[in-house]
Amino acid sequence: MKAVILAGGLGTRLSEETSIRPKPMVEIGGKPILWHIMKTYSAHGINDFIICCGYKGYIIKEYFANYFLHMSDVTFDMRFNQMNVHSGYAEPWRVTLVNTGDHTMTGGRLKRVCEHLGNDTFCFTYGDGVSDINITELINFHKEQRSLATLTAVQPAGRFGAISLGQEQTKINSFREKPEGDGAWINGGYFVLEPEVLNLIADDSTVWEKEPLEKLADMEQLSAFKHNGFWQPMDTLRDKNYLEDLWKSGEAPWQVW
């Protein structure tokens, strides 16, 4: 099975990092967050990736072009213009990098890679968030549902400290840092899709989260896989620092490999 990853957005809310690189290349623990996402899929036997590039996509291409060198011990002998690789490790990945345009919307990016997908079920997700989701269970759930599309539904925690304060009250009697959210389920990405969904995407201007998903819901062809575990997008510098701290602690929940 193949996995399509969106990696072409501008990432304006993380401009501290994305002014010099695409958002999926922002590093957590010295590795791009894109690498972390791919490792999650790889842990469940999915090693064939299609990356939808856009903004500064050449940086992603250069990363994979030199991936073996990134992971190896190397001696460069300048006198003889030689390179000797002493040891190295490469993932068992097949990576297809497709330029899907700088300003193409999410649905349009997916449409642009359709020639690489064939007629098989495939995975689809965003290149800026990590989770400890069980991809194998997600795929099995999708097959059981017999829907054209399955999305992963998550319940994010609150982003700010919550206080209990009545209308006339001036003394706080309850405070919770990062409380649970309001209980609403939201789209956490990590889709499993049938190739027929591509017919619902008109062109580059199509936003995947609007017309296609709305149409699938109207057709009763959109299922929800409820994930109660860890899920964290990297939208802001605060999010990036939070993920970095988790990785440094040695207990990053998404490290399932």
In a domain, 28, yes or no: yes
Residue 74, domain extent? 2-155+185-249
Q: What is the CATH number of the domain that holds 9?
A: 3.90.550.10
Q: What are residue 75's phi and psi, to 5 degrees? A: -115, 130
In a domain, 171, yes or no: no
In a domain, 257, yes or no: no
Per the structure, the count of domains in the chain is 1
Answer whether 75's CB lies under 8 Å from 167's CB: no
pTM of the model: 0.87
Over residues 122-131, the mean pLDDT reads 96
Q: List the beta bridge partners of residue 50.
A: 4, 96
Label residue 132 by pLDDT band (50, 70, 90). very high
In a domain, 256, yes or no: no
* pLDDT surpassing 90 at residue 10: no
What percentage of the chain exceeds 70 in pLDDT? 88
Query: Looking at residue 181, what is its pLDDT?
Result: 59
State the pairing for strand pair 129-131/231-233: antiparallel
* pLDDT surpassing 80 at residue 237: yes
In a domain, 255, yes or no: no
Query: Looking at residue 117, what is its pLDDT?
Result: 96
Answer whether 102's CB lies under 8 Å from 8's CB: yes
Over residues 125-141, the mean pLDDT reads 96
The string of pLDDT tens digits covering residues 27-54 is: 999 999 999 999 999 999 999 999 999 9
Cα separation, 178 vs 254, in Å, equals 19
What percentage of the chain exceeds 90 in pLDDT? 70
Q: List the beta bridge partners of residue 75.
A: 84
